[in-house]
Structure 1
Amino acid sequence: MSPLRPELRLDDRDIAILAVLSREGRIAKTDLAGRVNLSPTPCWERMKRLEKAGLIRGYRAEIDLVGLGPHVQVFVTVELESHRAESFQIFERTIARMDQITGCWAIGGGYDYLMQVVTRDVAAFQSLMDGLLESRAGVRRYFSYIVTKPVKNLPPASALLGDGGG
């Protein structure tokens, strides 16, 4: 999310719109208006303003991975061989092309990145990681953590919007 611009002031209804949309992106606009105590036209105008400001970047469906078939979800911490700016750029360009890596964050602390990986099984995960190690991505070492069950998974915006969800 881009930093809040001084000319963009959010009030309680803007925050409520963002909170509802972060959980229910497909909610009907009339239902959204009712939930935030606005009539449909002003609610729609606020949504458009929030989209134009870049606070709403898109709308997505939450897919039940179990319904798609067998899979494994793995979180991976990655340490690079070198900490030059070019090394970070090469790594980031490399993983951007790998669809199985569904999330990646640069992190502070003992590791350089935290990745989220989804593959059909552990063998496919290991093949992905072997390919990453053989590439010129500059990975020194990695540690993998297989998800055994989801416990909580809210949209990240819920924490900032104070919607009390979860």
Structure 2
Amino acid sequence: MTELSKINKIDLKILTILQKNARITNQQLAEQVHLSASACLSRVKRLESEGLLKRYLTEIDLEKLAPHVEAFAEVTLENHFPEDFERFDAAVQEIREVTDSYKISGAYDYLLKFVCTDVKSYNRTSEGILKSNIGIAKMNTLIILERTKDFSGYPLDILVDL
């Protein structure tokens, strides 16, 4: 952990609750962590200012909203100089269909997650990326057939030693 203000069990409980329900009212949060509303709000503001609470998101159920296809792409770059990674990272930021990008170790340099309307749309997007001259040597696609576990927050109680 970086040198921020000391995190205690109450802060950890606030983080745990907020990652499961970011729409909880401050009053409800305060009751759950046994603080006054003003003390709870002060802690939340401190956690935000220190960057532990980065942003609040809404998870949308795409299955109910629209037909789509999700895919992972394992990417290997042609060269491995810092400027090659920087160029690739910058280009990926501009591709709306890429929802996640991870620089990884192992046989590939990156793991990208795509969300597209269908396989043809993914194919057009991936071909466009390959033709864009951002230094890709190889891209291997894995179509996601079914999500078997959703992200439901980090296991803070396991990760943070208090």
One-letter code aligned to 1:88: F
TM-score by length of 1: 0.90
Residue-pair matches, total: 158
1:130 aligned onto 2:122: no
1:162 aligned onto 2:160: no
Q: Which deviates the most, 76-85 or 143-152? A: 143-152
Of the candidates 40, 43, 46, which is equivalent to residue 40 of structure 2?
Answer: 43
1:114 aligned onto 2:111: yes
Aligned to 2:79: 82
Deviation track 1:25-53 (CA, whole Å, cap 9, x = no partner) reads 11111111122222211111100010011
Q: How does 1:3-42 map to 2 (within 5 A)?
A: 4-5=2-3, 7-42=4-39
1:102 aligned onto 2:102: no
One-letter code aligned to 1:26: R
Unpaired segments of 5 or more residues in structure 1?
Answer: none
Distance 1:102 1:74 in 2: 10
Deviation track 1:69-94 (CA, whole Å, cap 9, x = no partner) reads 10011111100111111111111111
Aligned to 1:60: 57
Unpaired segments of 5 or more residues in structure 2?
Answer: none
Q: What RMSD, in angstroms, separates the aligned Cα atoms of the two structures? A: 1.3
Distance 1:70 1:64 in 2: 11
Percent identity of equivalent pairs: 34
Secondary structure at 1:144's aligned position in 2? strand
One-letter code aligned to 2:154: S
The ranges of structure 1 where at least 4 consecutive aligned residues each deviate by more than 3 angstroms after the TM superposition are none
Deviation at 1:142, TM superposition (A): 1.3
